[in-house]
Structure 1
Amino acid sequence: MKLTDKQNRIIETFDYSSPEQFLNHYPYRYDSYEAKSIDEWVEGETVVFEGKLASGFRTVRFKGNQSVTNFQVFSDDTLIKVSIFNRPFLRDYHYKEGIVVIGTVQSDHKVMAKTVTNKPLEETLGLKPSYPLKAGIKNYEVERLIKKILESIRIEETVPAVYKDAYRLQSKQQALQWIHRPQTKEQLMAALRTLKYEEFLRYHLSVALNQSGFSFGIAKPISNDVLKSYLNQLPYDLTKSQNDALSEILNDIRSDQQMHRLLQGDVGSGKTVVAFLSAISAIKAGYQVVFMVPTEILMNQHLAAFKSLFPDITVVGLSQNTEERKICLEGIRTGSVSFVIGTHAVLTEDVIFNNLGYVIIDEQHRFGVRQRQTLIDKGKMVDVLMMSATPIPRTLANSLYFDLSVSTISGYPSHRKLTETFVIKENSLRSIIDDLNHVLNEGEQIYVVCAAIEEGERPNVKNVHDIYKNLSQVFKGRHVGMLHGKMTSFEKDIVMATFNAGNIDILVTTTVIEVGVDVHNANTMVIYNAEQFGLATLHQLRGRVGRGRIQGCCFLLSSSDTDIAEARLNALASSHDGFELSMMDMRMRGIGDALGFRQSGVPNFILGDIEKDEKILYQAKIDAKHISEDKENPEYKAIINSVLSQDYFKTT
């Protein structure tokens, strides 16, 4: 296939690796054009009609490079006055054979045109795709490129024929043709059904093929008396929901089936202490436990929390920066170390366990399937607990997760008060300065969160460096600190240790503090450009304050005047239900924006909507299970090879 330099640049601009991959650049909407007789027109609706030019194009220019071109069209025995903005280049001789106009009806026989063409009316009618664009790239250029790719390649079928026939799915080639160039709504719907099913099937199959079959395990002798003694050490009682989740986990560990369970719960619901208690139970039964976390900040936080609650049990932290790493590794290898809390560093080949029996993975979506499996494979028939702070309804979790039991902690520990949340309709501290000074005078600390690190990183968005400088001037005499993802692990650790010790009054930071940071003296948070974040992220951030016995307070600063931004922020201010907020974000922002890999435990599907398409998602899970259990079946070879090679397109 020979593409022009411009077409190759378009593919690169959108970060696709090949022309075939560019077929994943789906339209985000379709405009429906159908011909109506003029007496059926309604003011404000979009119409398309053809006719003969009844006058020349007359252009009027006004300030800047703006212009409006007026002309008349004789159509269906009626003279129609047409105006179109910024088309001074229109010439009568291009439209000698006729003109087709697409525009909005303004009044009787007057139309404000969006576009005009000299193509036949039949080519203009139907569904017309609109694509996501970038500066300098026009919609028609994307359309032409897609058309050229589709005409140049043959795409190999990967969905097994047995499922394609059973669900009346289209061929992959036909589905792509219809999603990019549909003639009818029926064709578009058929294409979407086909491509969504394939997307969900590939997702479930990739999980199934990349995990060892979870079946027979090792029944561990969990002691209720030991558990009770450690429950009695806690400075508070577990909630009923926490106790129920702990019982489900321990029953799995006791059984001779491998545990493969997700522990989900809202921010601050008390998941970590439940995981700690289950870890102690496994340790006391004679097994090693590893608790993998995504960041060193979270590792150090968990280490401090565990040592505080259970000082009689030895625990080590393992990261790339761990001092005396060799001593830690030797202790893990010989079995003298029973509990390890670590970052990705626990995945390396030199980490060899003596008797690993239980793996806990915090913020599990931050680790790839293969990373998780690498850790699981360091033991034999280990029990696995994955944790997520973005809860989704149990029925949906059942459809989304493959071979996974789900425990849910609802509500909050009795000692925690809900954080008050206020929407400030300007991107400035001006109106809350007195509140912040009062907090500081009380000896408490403050988080200030920005969506960017440096100036120019994101247009019209406050950044950490500038806000750090400004607040150092505004709050003279106070210690202002700075924390962000471009700092080294050592630098971040120093800042967090200083903040923990109470020696930083105001910490200006990015979402690096979103997960796990637990400073009981920091009960106030300010978030600049709050409209830039998903509800899941805002809810996670808000969960960093009010973690002690003082009520938290969160200020959402935003000068955005869009209805959807205002609705989302008001929703956060009025609700603390993570289930409700995550589903609301899906509905209001769309699955792709709301549920990216960074913000939640839910994969970022291109077309599939896990809420609206739950039936397709669940059926794909069942089918993926059948395929994974019958891998030698030649009918399944194409899709298995495609998934294992992570190749979405096979071409012939």
Structure 2
Amino acid sequence: MITDLKNIAGVGPKLLKQFRDQGIWNTYDLVSYLPKKYDNFSVVDVDSLKHEEVSTVIGTIYAPLFTVKKKVVWTTTSILVQDKLIKLNIFGRDYLTKVFKKDDVVLVKGKYNIFKNEMNVIHITKNQDIPEIKPIYQIPNIYDKTVHNIIKTVVENESVELYETLPKSFVDKYHLMGRKEAYITAHFPKDENSLKNAQYRFKVEEAFFHLLKYHLNMPPKPKRDPLNYDIEWVRKQISLLPYQLTLDQQEATNDCFKDFKSVDATYRLIQGDVGTGKTFVTFIAALGCISAGYQVAFLAPTEILARQHYENFNQYFSHVSNALLTSSLKDKDATINKLKQS
């Protein structure tokens, strides 16, 4: 179910136009408009304050606010948080001297300096009912609180239907948060952990449909006959190596030979750190193609690397006909003819 925003309580003509200017026409558009960022107002214990970290505390104003007007407008006071006095520095807001007075209980968010035992205030208010994690929507000319309240009305009145878009098996396999729960959590986060789970769900969903679109737009795979390789001959060549293949090398080699059995022409990327044996996996894959009666071109981006691969191959498989062909080779025709005849 999708409802036009003009039918939602609290949305007047002016607010409706402001929403529509941002492309938000109905309840689905509104609920799927995720916050741009979040302000974390989770209150911490005074002993948990860390140097140069933004934190939120609740305390009682211990001294009257005092303002100094020089190059900058600087207001100072101190608050008693549990049994500890913390100095507050407030810049550019001298009007606060008329808002707060001694003994007011305030919620303060700011960056704490452990050495000076002071906090540079980002936000200070008497209102302690602020959600611990406050969504910031940044919709022009509309207060975040207004957006938040309207979304709350929409959710409570069930004025929008949020369908699951990912396969249930996929959601279960990767332990993802449900789509409806993710949207509700994004607008009304209970804690940082649940918010992270919701955000992770949206990232996975975006990646899923990006890859789905990519695969749907891929041209059909060209067909070919499976490679009739001689596995016993290949195993004999592997036995010539002076060491046992690692488990990762064995798995990568097996994957290559599974590709050979397929009727689809495939590309395979072998990824690994330097020195993990990727080259020898490709050597073995090349030997599989050779055993099936094919020739293999082993390409390298530089002549030095090409020569290195050529020497490594011949160190163990010199009995297999091969040749090095580079741009600096003088008699290329002779090498090409040799390759044609082999």
Q: TM-score normalized by structure 1? A: 0.31
Which residue of the other structure, out of 86, 90, 113, is the alignment partner of 2:119? 113
| Structure 2 CA distance for partners of 1:217 and 1:71, relative to 1, 3 Å | same
Which residue of the other structure, out of 65, 69, 77, is the alignment partner of 1:71? 77
* CA drift at 1:126: 1.0
Equivalent in the alignment of 1:451 = none
Which residue of the other structure, out of 240, 245, 248, is the alignment partner of 2:254? 248
Does residue 309 of structure 2 align to residue 305 of structure 1? yes
Question: What one-letter code is carried by the residue in structure 2 that aligns with 1:126?
Answer: E
Secondary structure in structure 1 of the residue aligned to 2:94? coil
Which residue of the other structure, out of 241, 249, 270, is the alignment partner of 2:277? 270
Q: Where do 1:178-193 residues align within 5 Å?
A: 178-179=185-186, 182-185=188-191, 188=195, 191-192=198-199
Question: What one-letter code is carried by the residue in structure 2 that aligns with 1:237?
Answer: P
Give the Cα–Cα distance (whole angstroms) in 1 for the partners of residues 258 and 75 of structure 2: 74
Give the Cα–Cα distance (whole angstroms) in 1 for the partners of residues 43 and 244 of structure 2: 60
The 8 Å contact of residues 68 and 87 in structure 1, kept in 2 or not, is answered as: yes
Secondary structure in structure 2 of the residue aligned to 1:222? coil
| Structure 2 CA distance for partners of 1:208 and 1:84, relative to 1, 3 Å | same
Which residue of the other structure, out of 24, 33, 58, is the alignment partner of 2:42? 33
The 8 Å contact of residues 56 and 110 in structure 2, kept in 1 or not, is answered as: yes
| Structure 2 CA distance for partners of 1:34 and 1:261, relative to 1, 3 Å | same
Q: Where do 1:201-212 residues align within 5 Å?
A: 201-202=208-209, 204-205=211-212, 208-209=215-216
Does residue 92 of structure 2 align to residue 84 of structure 1? no
Equivalent in the alignment of 1:281 = 288
Number of equivalent positions: 271
Unaligned segments of structure 1, at least 5 residues: 3-21, 36-40, 130-142, 339-652
Does residue 145 of structure 2 align to residue 145 of structure 1? no
Secondary structure in structure 2 of the residue aligned to 1:71? strand
Question: What one-letter code is carried by the residue in structure 2 that aligns with 1:127?
Answer: I
Secondary structure in structure 2 of the residue aligned to 1:70? strand
* CA drift at 1:275: 0.5
The 8 Å contact of residues 226 and 261 in structure 2, kept in 1 or not, is answered as: yes
Give the Cα–Cα distance (whole angstroms) in 1 for the partners of residues 278 and 233 of structure 2: 20
Greater Cα radius of gyration, structure 1 or 2? 2
| Structure 2 CA distance for partners of 1:67 and 1:79, relative to 1, 3 Å | farther
Give the Cα–Cα distance (whole angstroms) in 2 for the partners of residues 227 and 31 of structure 1: 61
The 8 Å contact of residues 79 and 88 in structure 2, kept in 1 or not, is answered as: no
Give the Cα–Cα distance (whole angstroms) in 2 for the partners of residues 265 and 80 of structure 1: 54
Equivalent in the alignment of 1:198 = 205
The 8 Å contact of residues 95 and 118 in structure 1, kept in 2 or not, is answered as: no
Does residue 42 of structure 2 align to residue 49 of structure 1? no
* CA drift at 1:221: 2.4
Give the Cα–Cα distance (whole angstroms) in 1 for the partners of residues 287 and 171 of structure 2: 51
1:283-307 deviations in Å (ceiling 9; x for gaps): 45244546576xx34x751354226
Give the Cα–Cα distance (whole angstroms) in 2 for the partners of residues 239 and 79 of structure 1: 66
Report % sequence identity. Answer: 16
| Structure 2 CA distance for partners of 1:302 and 1:114, relative to 1, 3 Å | same
Q: Where do 1:87-486 residues align within 5 Å?
A: 87=91, 90-95=94-99, 100-102=107-109, 112-115=118-121, 117=123, 119=125, 121-122=127-128, 124-128=130-134, 143=136, 145=138, 160=165, 163=168, 169-171=178-180, 175=182, 178-179=185-186, 182-185=188-191, 188=195, 191-192=198-199, 194-202=201-209, 204-205=211-212, 208-209=215-216, 218-224=225-231, 227=234, 237-241=242-246, 244-245=250-251, 248-249=254-255, 251-252=257-258, 255-256=261-262, 258=264, 263-287=270-294, 289=296, 296-297=301-302, 300-306=304-310, 309-310=313-314, 312-314=321-323, 316=325
Unaligned segments of structure 2, at least 5 residues: 1-16, 19-32, 50-54, 148-160
Equivalent in the alignment of 1:361 = none
Give the Cα–Cα distance (whole angstroms) in 2 for the partners of residues 285 and 24 of structure 1: 58
| Structure 2 CA distance for partners of 1:254 and 1:245, relative to 1, 3 Å | same
| Structure 2 CA distance for partners of 1:53 and 1:274, relative to 1, 3 Å | closer
Equivalent in the alignment of 2:158 = none
Give the Cα–Cα distance (whole angstroms) in 2 for the partners of residues 307 and 79 of structure 1: 75
The 8 Å contact of residues 78 and 88 in structure 2, kept in 1 or not, is answered as: no
Secondary structure in structure 2 of the residue aligned to 1:219? coil
Secondary structure in structure 1 of the residue aligned to 2:179? coil
Secondary structure in structure 1 of the residue aligned to 2:91? coil
Question: What one-letter code is carried by the residue in structure 1 that aligns with 2:133?
Answer: L
